[in-house]
């Protein structure tokens, strides 16, 4: 008998349910007897002992379902060692609930912050296996995270839909794509949708270079310009500021986001009408695309195999088109970012895409 705890933490995304289903189905078809304890709303469920027993039927029909059947929440790693408002030691409480249920392991699905806490629990003596989810694809140790491709499809469709109205009205359109620190989502959606300018957190932009690219399109007879902007895009001017100075500037900003600031600057420099579209949390929503269904199922099956083998302390990742296990200590606290010198950036520039640099 294997007694397994399971939780989904951080921002939700597509294929969380598919991944959990993959874990459970692989264990069922191995012939192993299992009990599944689903902790509700992420680490909050583990901290406060809020869980429910899950039956095999709970994992039926959820392959195509978005969100998470367990609910999720954000429990910042930087406060995980701080007692809650009632003085509860959160780490000790998580350990207590794990051992109280006599769990063989804890399966945790999440992104960067989630993996920091998962590694902490490993260091505290818990058997942990993690699965990499995030629409940002910024998790260290894996070439791909589930949820990413589904979000790329949604962001791409949003930009596709903007093309016709931008052309009709001869406007500059800015589409703001999710991604505070990392630009994989904006980069891939921008290339896929034929965006003319792509602005990423990893490549600080020069507003004059952005305007040059718009003017060059006008001279070639183009009626419109599409700009895909990551919400964490930053100007070269702001990139020179210290972290503290930049945070202060953001607090004092009069524009709701970088996209609106850009729109204002472009209008002042060109006189062209500029519109901003923000797909927002739509990018996290809906059912997973076919790629993510397959990918998450594969990762889940591999996690099930590790449980059967008693191999813990790993994230199930994806390297060079193969599913692999990566030690949690190598993953926690690291961020995978777009390399400005990567082949995809060079190839995008060959296609005439400007990055504002």
Question: What DSSP line would sit under 213-270, residue for residue?
Answer: HHHHHHHTT-S-EEEEEETT--BHHHHTS-HHHHHHHHHH-SSSSHHHHHHHHHHHHH
Can you tell me which residue has the tokens 């990423």?
A: 200
- Please give the C-alpha separations between residue 242 and each of 110, 237, 239, in angstroms, as whole numbers: 30, 11, 8
- Please give the C-alpha separations between residue 85 and each of 82, 88, 89, 90, in angstroms, as whole numbers: 9, 7, 10, 11
Is 136 marked active-site? Answer: yes
Number of separate helices (H) and strands (E) present in the chain: 13, 11
Can you tell me which residue has the tokens 């029909």?
A: 61
Q: Are the beta carbons of 231 and 258 closer than 8 angstroms? A: yes
Measured from the Cβ of residue 259, the count of other Cβ atoms closer than 10 Å reads 23
Question: What DSSP line would sit under 1-37, residue for residue?
Answer: -EEEEEEE-SS--TTHHHHHHHHHHHHHTTT--EEEE
Per-residue b or e along 279-306, where b marks 16 or more CB atoms closer than 10 Å to that residue's CB = beeebbbbbbbebbbbbbbbbbbbbbbb
Which of 136, 138, 196, 292 is flagged as catalytic?
136
Active site residues: 136
């Amino acid at each position: 008998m294997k007694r397994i705890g399971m939780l989904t933490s951080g921002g939700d995304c597509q294929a969380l349910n598919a991944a959990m289903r993959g874990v459970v189905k692989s264990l069922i078809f191995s012939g192993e007897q299992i009990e599944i304890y689903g902790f509700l709303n992420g680490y909050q469920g583990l901290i406060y002992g809020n869980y429910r027993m899950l039956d095999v039927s709970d994992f039926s029909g959820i392959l195509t379902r978005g969100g998470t059947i367990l609910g999720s929440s954000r429990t910042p790693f930087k406060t995980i060692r701080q007692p809650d408002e009632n003085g509860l030691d959160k780490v000790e409480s998580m350990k207590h609930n794990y051992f109280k249920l006599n769990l063989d392991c804890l399966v945790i699905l999440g992104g960067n912050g989630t993996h920091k806490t998962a590694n902490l629990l490993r260091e505290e003596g818990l058997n942990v296996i993690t699965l990499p989810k995030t629409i940002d694809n910024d998790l260290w140790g894996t070439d791909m995270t589930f949820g990413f491709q589904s979000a790329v499809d949604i962001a791409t469709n949003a930009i596709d839909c903007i093309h016709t109205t931008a052309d009709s009205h001869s406007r500059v359109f800015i589409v703001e794509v999710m991604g505070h620190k990392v630009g994989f989502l904006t980069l891939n959606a921008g290339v896929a949708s034929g965006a003319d300018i792509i602005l990423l957190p990893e490549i600080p932009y020069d507003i004059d270079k952005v305007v040059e690219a718009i003017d060059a399109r006008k001279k070639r007879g183009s009626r419109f310009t599409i700009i895909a902007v990551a919400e964490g895009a930053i100007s070269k001017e702001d990139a020179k500021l210290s972290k503290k100075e930049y945070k202060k500037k953001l607090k004092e900003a009069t524009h709701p986001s970088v996209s609106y600031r850009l729109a204002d600057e472009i209008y002042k420099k060109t006189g062209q009408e500029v519109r901003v579209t923000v797909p927002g949390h739509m990018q996290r929503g809906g059912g997973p695309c076919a790629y993510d269904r397959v990918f998450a199922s594969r990762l889940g099956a591999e996690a099930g195999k590790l449980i059967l083998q008693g191999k813990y302390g790993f994230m199930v990742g994806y390297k060079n088109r193969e599913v692999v296990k990566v030690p949690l200590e190598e993953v926690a606290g690291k961020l995978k970012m777009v390399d400005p010198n990567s082949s995809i950036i060079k190839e995008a520039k060959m296609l005439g895409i400007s990055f504002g640099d």
